[in-house]
Structure 1
């Protein structure tokens, strides 16, 4: 037990050591620092369903533009070239994309490939001198995530994680209310994340590509949501796994995990991650003076919710459009988002996921930090 706790504590210490305080106070007038006309020129790596969603959303961006692609499928590259007007010189495959170091027309690469590929691809992009936007989960474990953060630091490039909810208007409204004390002392958080997964041959159900099952894919929303809704970092986890279909959900692929997180103030989060149930996607935050409830809480939108003061009814904008415009502001303007989206934020989630898997394996409470 001591060695297990030591491992988790070392992982947590790595996350803390790699964390640096964000600075949002500027010594010069905003107009002198921000280049509002500078466009983030992005190449998307991985032209699957989510890559397509991001590409479509980027057509409405004001600060970000799709200018390149990286794919192992020539037919997809040709289709995207035609649809989005991408020049041949900005098209790469997985073997030759290191050559982007010599392409001044690409500022950043958005890595949207299976989880297990993120580490190697992120490091290669960083070595090529380009900023990295990496889809979540950023890696398959905390150790790999820490290597990604270090590689980007050493290369002097930004590493941002695709936490689209960190820019979503109703989510930010709920966080603002909590920060203002409108819910009183926070006591409890519930996060329900899951859906019935289909095609059993997809990469998400291949442990060598996904690094896990529902927890990696959808449970991470409840982990991350608990942290920004409560406004604290957890100090312990417990977890229990249920598997009803060991054929579809083979070794290394979790089907359903219920897990709990404890926070320094005494807040407890009770969460569910599953590939076997629909009608979930719910966050509930309860305090001594009020509450916030969101369902759907992390879907592509619109997000729906209410508090003890009434509905959450901020205008809906396509999440990925807002995300990419805001990431341009982070990279070019030094903007600090209300909820972090950098690699260190992603690393914190990976430390927690490692601890949850350890708690499932041992049946014991695992300490963080």
Structure 2
């Protein structure tokens, strides 16, 4: 409870877009990188995003927002962050007056995404929001509306859609290189014993479905290039003493048009990481499909999808930065995050009704 309370306690960049590369082409360097402020200095910011920002070409770590003052000296020393670019959750609104900051990346517990993404948008800053976008579809819409009203761009942190091998299977869905997709499996999970306390709290948006399940859900959607028309789901747990508020394991089936079935599974109690697509004339898979590195796979025709090698978070943030610099559409907009949460809400509803099939 105390940990939870500590969380609660327009770009000024003008560049000649004609001289800059299109998104995804990392050739020329801008005269000024976009300044990024990380909101929330937990594991993902500390161990992944901040290091990745050191590897980007189009953005850089310029600010932090934290409710933990003891973390500030280390971050300032390691990344050269000025006193003027350090904020807490109470004074974050004043970031509006800081020309060093172009983008605010929200990396907080799921239940706080909407509040702070909206604050960032109202401050006139572009918004990058970690997945899942929010707890509810209503919150997702409120983020989208705030960004639209403030004329700032909104990107959701679905790093896999920026990853090279993932983009290959997304292309195969369109080209039908192995015939029409018939069924697929998307499983994402790990066996956790030392899970962050907030991930075990329903109020904070914890549970396997929100945390790992969106990988399976989003994977089913991007690997078919389609939207599901129906869903059924069940929850289970082998450790009820630990998972007394949220789901430990969720099994859900997505039905698409043309008879495509996606069998999906997510868990904090099982280790799994595979996206396996069966088609009329062959098959292909990624395993692992959502790891931080080493995403690889193979197709039935012998095609091998070797690990890409580049830092996923760096690629994601550079893609999103280029969309801002060139004033072009982002790769993963807020509407994509909203689509997943609409389905997540139906998954929870189905599970509460004993696995009843629900139309989407």
TM > 0.5 between the two?
yes
Alignment of 1:199-210 (within 5 A): 199=194, 202-209=197-204
Unpaired segments ≥5 residues, structure 2: 1-16, 23-27
Q: 2:290 aligns with which of 289, 298, 306?
A: 298
Return the offset for 1:314. 5.4
Query: Given the alignment of the two structures, is residue 107 of structure 1 paired with residue 99 of structure 2, yes or no?
Result: no
Return the offset for 1:287. 0.7
Return the offset for 1:289. 1.3
Return the offset for 1:336. 4.4
Alignment of 1:318-329 (within 5 A): 318-329=311-322
Q: 2:210 aligns with which of 205, 216, 235?
A: 216
Query: Given the alignment of the two structures, is residue 317 of structure 1 paired with residue 310 of structure 2, yes or no?
Result: yes
Q: 1:355 aligns with which of 343, 346, 351?
A: 346
C-alpha change, 1:201 and 1:302, in structure 2 (3 Å) is closer
Q: CA RMSD in A?
A: 1.7
- Separation in structure 2 between the aligned mates of residue 63 and residue 156 of structure 1, nearest angstrom: 21
- Separation in structure 1 between the aligned mates of residue 96 and residue 358 of structure 2, nearest angstrom: 43
Secondary structure of the structure 2 residue equivalent to 1:195: strand
1:4 alignment counterpart: none
Alignment of 1:1-369 (within 5 A): 31=19, 37=30, 38-52=32-46, 53-199=48-194, 202-209=197-204, 211-251=205-245, 253-278=246-271, 280-309=272-301, 310-313=303-306, 315-336=308-329, 340-363=331-354, 364-368=356-360
More deviation in 216-225 or 313-322? 313-322
Return the offset for 1:157. 1.0
> Contact 2:130/2:157 (CA < 8 Å) preserved in 1?
yes
Return the offset for 1:300. 0.4
Alignment deviations for residues 242-265 of structure 1 (CA, whole Å, 9 cap, x no partner): 1222210012x0011110001122
Unpaired segments ≥5 residues, structure 1: 1-28
1:24 alignment counterpart: none
C-alpha change, 1:181 and 1:51, in structure 2 (3 Å) is same
> Contact 2:106/2:116 (CA < 8 Å) preserved in 1?
yes
Secondary structure of the structure 1 residue equivalent to 2:318: helix
Equivalenced residues, count: 335
Runs of 4+ in structure 1 over 3 Å off:
29-36, 334-337
Secondary structure of the structure 1 residue equivalent to 2:269: coil
More deviation in 171-180 or 188-197? 171-180
Secondary structure of the structure 2 residue equivalent to 1:137: coil
Return the offset for 1:30. 5.7
Secondary structure of the structure 1 residue equivalent to 2:270: coil
Q: TM-score of the superposition, structure 1-length normalised?
A: 0.87
- With a CA cutoff of 8 Å and minimum separation of 6, indicate the structure with the bigger relative contact order: 1
- Separation in structure 1 between the aligned mates of residue 237 and residue 123 of structure 2, nearest angstrom: 42
> Contact 2:295/2:308 (CA < 8 Å) preserved in 1?
no
